[in-house]
Structure 1
Amino acid sequence: MDRNTRNSAIAAAIILFGFGLVAFYMPTLMLAVGESSPVVGGIMAVLFVAAFFGVFWLRGRSRRDRED
């Protein structure tokens, strides 16, 4: 495993751990926010899923730009 591959694996593990931790508490957060507004609770869940894919999309773009 070379340096770039190791750094990519470490970054992916940190990102996945962070999102996993937020996903673990997401039902509690959604219920708390949903008490005041169910729509905001739903929007929060959609933004969480979009952020998960967005982080990896941005990382891929960043890596692709560095390779050119």
Structure 2
Amino acid sequence: MAEGDKETRSSAIAAFVILLGVALALLVMPKVVLWVGGYSPVLAAALGTLVILAFFLIFWLRARYQRRRGDQD
């Protein structure tokens, strides 16, 4: 297998795992937010916001890592 194919496959697997994890988190999030909302609506809104922002943060950090790793080659 060529080096480029291996990197592409690795990136695709990593993206799939991240998306699967985020999908599971988003599937459970409404119940958790409603439960936390029983104690504090502000805390529930903050939790929902953090979960959504975490999706973008994960991909941003991965892109930074990939860029750094590519510069060293």
Q: Distance in 2 between matches of 1:23 and 1:50?
A: 12
Q: Distance in 2 between matches of 1:41 and 1:10?
A: 32
Of the candidates 16, 20, 25, which is equivalent to residue 19 of structure 2?
16
How far residue 49 of structure 1 moved from its aligned partner, in angstroms, is 1.0
Say how many residue pairs are matched: 68
Larger relative contact order (Cα-Cα within 8 Å, sequence gap ≥ 6): 2
Aligned partner of residue 27 in structure 2, secondary structure: helix
Deviations 1:22-64 (Å, cap 9, x if unpaired)? 1011110000000000000000011011100000000000000
Question: What is residue 28 of structure 1 aligned with on the other side?
Answer: 31
Identity %: 47
Greater CA deviation, 1-10 or 46-55? Answer: 1-10
TM-score normalised by the chain length of structure 1: 0.96
Question: What is residue 41 of structure 1 aligned with on the other side?
Answer: 44
The root-mean-square deviation of aligned C-alpha atoms, in Å, is: 0.9
